[in-house]
Every structure is written in structure tokens, then in C-alpha cells.
A and B are shown apart, each in its own frame.
Chain A
């Protein structure tokens, strides 16, 4: 089946540094990808919708300058947490919408745990 790979699975960084998380669709093209944030024991919170070749659409309350999203190809979207602070520590999940024969399907990455010291 279709696979979405997210990397890194976990990362620890110092406050003030930037961290990039990659989301790749391995065997299908994904024109649309979604980035979520999940706090412990809570549901997924949509941060932004990433469309290939265009600017991401951010949800209300999500700082676009803080969470930079780039979807430069049909198989890769990246989330960069800029000038990270401890409050940015969280679990980040991406999902990719299938196309063609996979239309109507959503595939999730394994998630990335970010810890900011």
C-alpha cells in the first residue's frame, strides 16, 4: 500500500534553533499534504494544508512565519519550526491525500516528536 515517510521521527534541539521535518510520499504523488500537531492525550490539531507549487493555507492561530511549510514537489512537503522554543515541543504528524487510484484515501506519516530544550 501507499506509504508516507516522515523524518526525523524524533529530534531534540536547543531553544532558538530551527528544525526541519520532512514528509515524503514514497510510492504515490500527493498534491495535498496536511500538517498536524498533537499534544499528549489529545486529538490532532490541523496546522496547515500544503499544496504542491503554491503557498500553504494556515489555520487560524498558527504563525506562518514560525512554522514554514514548503511543498516543492509532488512527493515532498517540509515543515520548518523556526527559532524553536520549549512551547513548540510537540508531536507533529503529516498526512498525504492520494491521487488517481488512491483518490479519497489519506495516508499518515509516523510522526515526529520535537523536544526543544
Chain B
């Protein structure tokens, strides 16, 4: 069965620090996408970063980067120079099928303290 596991229910760091959110998954597929989504208090789901499994290079979007370990089925999100606006729930997800029906992790609540 395909699953996504986020083992950190909540994390808290000081502003400007670096924080890493973990995500592991299980799939028998070889080519797939992996996503990190952010859900701030407004509840609007926002795509943070996307990784294509066939690419060895880790995806990067400004202060956000991933550490993708395909063999270990690990997909962690690193947030550098964290800002107060990064406070949100973060979800790891990947498509179950070509229709992009997503499997979601349980989420990590990230709190950035001033």
C-alpha cells in the first residue's frame, strides 16, 4: 500500500533559524512526484515545492529545499532563515495515480517564534 508518514506532529523554532520537516513514504512506483504543501491559518493550501522522482537533483525554491533520498523513500523539507509567515501546517503528499489523486501525510504544525 502507498503511504505517507510525517513523524513530527509539531515543531517550533526561533525566527531566522533553519528547520527540517521529515517525510517518508512507501510506493512501488518508479516515476512519481512528491509535494510539500503549506496550509497557513487562512486554510488556503499552497504548494511549497515539488520534486520529480526521476531527478537526482534536489528541488529548491528560494528558502525552501528538499533532501530527496529515493532509495530510503525519504523526502524532507528544509526551511532556511525561517520567517514568522512560515508558521503553518505543512503536508507531504504524492499522487496515487496519473489523475493526481494525492496521498497526504498527517501534517506537521510549524511555529516560528519571534
Contact = CB atoms under 8 A, between A and B. Distances in A.
A105 B42 CA distance: 21
Interface stretch (A12-20, A64-72, A75-83, A91-99): A91-99
A11 to B, nearest CB: 14
Contact of B43 (A49, A91, A97): A91
A29 interface: no
A74 interface: no
Interface stretch (B12-20, B69-77, B80-88, B96-104): B96-104
Interface residues of B, number: 18
Interface residues of A, number: 20
Interface of A, helix, strand, loop or mixed by DSSP: strand
B32 to A, nearest CB: 11
Contact of B33 (A41, A42, A104): A104
Interface in B5-47: 33, 35, 42-47
Nearest to B103: A46
